Chain A
Amino acid sequence: MGTHTAEQPAPVADLSVPTRTGLLIIGASQSGVQLAVSLRALGFDEHITLLGDEDHRPYQRPALSKEFLQGTVESESLIFRSNEYWAEHNVDLVKGEYIVRIDRDADGSGIAHASSGRHFPFKRLALTVGARARKLEIDGGDLDGVLYLRNADDALALKARVGDAQDVVVIGGGFIGLEAASSLQKMGKNVTVLEFGPRLVGRAVGEETAEYFLQAHRARGLDIRLNTSAARLTATDGGRSVAGVELQDGTLLPAQIVLVGIGVIPNTQLAEQLGLTVDNGIVVDRYALASDGTTVAIGDCANMPNPVPGAEPGERIRLESVNNAIEHAKVAAYSLTGRREEYAGIPWFWSNQADLKLQIAGLCNGYDRTVLRSDEERGKFSVLYYRRGQVIAADCVNAPLDFMAVKNALAKGRNIPADAAADPATPLKTITTDS
């Protein structure tokens, strides 16, 4: 094999059409990486292309607002898998390609076209395209020094600028804003957080947890202003860089950096162009299949049936978390290998802010009772959420035992009776019951 005579010339490869990949995963994200990894674990043997629009190998995002920003971890340690791993597992990594259009055939195969002019033929398609930072649309919002924190380049831009800055205004009192504010405060910056709403971390935690974080951050010296929004951003004399934030009441806060963390918008442009159903994300069924029945969409960009036990029938949810990216990818990997497996596990989240380590198990939507467990001396604080007597979620600060107990109880369909849970000296694990 491999030799050709003059009478039998070697076939000339058509270089204009690249080889067709078995599965094109658009989005080299947490969910994209997990999908490729899970597919290989399940024995999926077709070629996989994992394509991203950033010029970095696939990396983990959570540290960008914390350890990476503070310089306590190197960028190399954020990389998901070694190059050797991808090569050995027959996964092509494509960096820096932004897909602008997809042509589809009736069987689900097609060609994805990148803005560079390259194109990527595929047999099957996965959208792991994530979400993008919501832009601050006020006067001065496009000045130099107005920054976001969604991807590695955002973090690098912030790091590059932070040395010359003394005053930072963070717009948005959600997880990203508070994590970054805590990091920047630790780095010696004078940080003010502006929150438009009446409390911190709006929809993600309950009232008690929000209040706990407000008091804890203020006690640590962070200037947090609730019910406060920026009216406009002012510029330096040259007019290009941000110099300050003018509030609605006319107060002017100096700022050499304005960091905006006001939520994200799911990336649905490609799904819309493909004619897939879109409604607060790409609408998928419980097997991670979009409305065409063949494209899978997972992670931050996907709107799925609420997988939590006890959820109302028909209730849908879009989750932005590492845990969801991983679990949803597993569901999709089963779908792509012809199996039907539903979402397993209990959604959980974490956020590290200064020395406050928040872990959330479950979703607290629709709770009718809370139980507080507070141990001020040891700096531990938990809130358990109940619906009709059944524990459905918990927010735990520096209380990993509580977190683990609730997460395990939820995963096994067990309960932690509310009355017994109120005593912080009682380990929750010891009072967990079968129903």
Chain B
Amino acid sequence: MPTVHFTDAEGEVRDVQGNPGDSVMETAVRNGVPGIVAECGGSLSCATCHVFVREDCLSKLPPMEDMEDEMLYGTAVDREDNSRLSCQLRLTDELDLFVTTPETQV
């Protein structure tokens, strides 16, 4: 099963298993991972599911589309080169993904 390792701003780690095809955001929210808010439920409207992806995992992810790129300029904690919106990241069979959640999403 795909696994996402969420590290929060304090360094606490939660490993969450998900289903292939689900987004990283859904996987986090359904299991109550606190660092992800996701007000809009994944419709790319709110930028409150911001994550920083560990550098060596970036290449496993699909490229960013324009809308995600623009929304990332409005995140509560400023974007970095490894920023993504987790609603746009789909789990695949063997994905083992490491992300850090920002200190705040709103």
Contact = CB atoms under 8 A, between A and B. Distances in A.
Interface string B6-42: 0000000000000000100010011110100001111
B61 interface: no
A60 B73 contact: no
Interface stretch (A8-16, A135-143, A400-408): A400-408
Chain A contact patch, size range: 20 to 34
A81 B29 contact: yes
A432 B67 CA distance: 22
Contact of B41 (A62, A84, A348, A401): A62
Given A350-B46, A400-B74, A357 B31 contact: no
The binding surface of chain A is classed by DSSP as helix
Contacts of B42: 77
Interface string A375-409: 00000000000000000000000001101110110
Nearest to B38: A60
Interface string B59-77: 0000000010011011000
A78 to B, nearest CB: 8
Chain B contact patch, size range: 20 to 34
Residue of B22, B43, B71, B106 with most chain A CB atoms under a 10 A cut-off: B43
B40 A322 contact: yes
Given A79-B30, A80-B30, A81-B29, A401 B70 contact: yes
Contact of A81 (B32, B39, B41, B46): B32
B47 interface: yes
A401 B73 contact: yes
B45 interface: yes
Nearest to B23: A77
Contact of A400 (B32, B34, B67, B106): B67
Contact of B43 (A37, A62, A403): A62
Contact of A85 (B22, B30, B46, B74): B30
Interface of B: 22, 26, 29-32, 34, 39-47, 67, 70-71, 73-74, 106
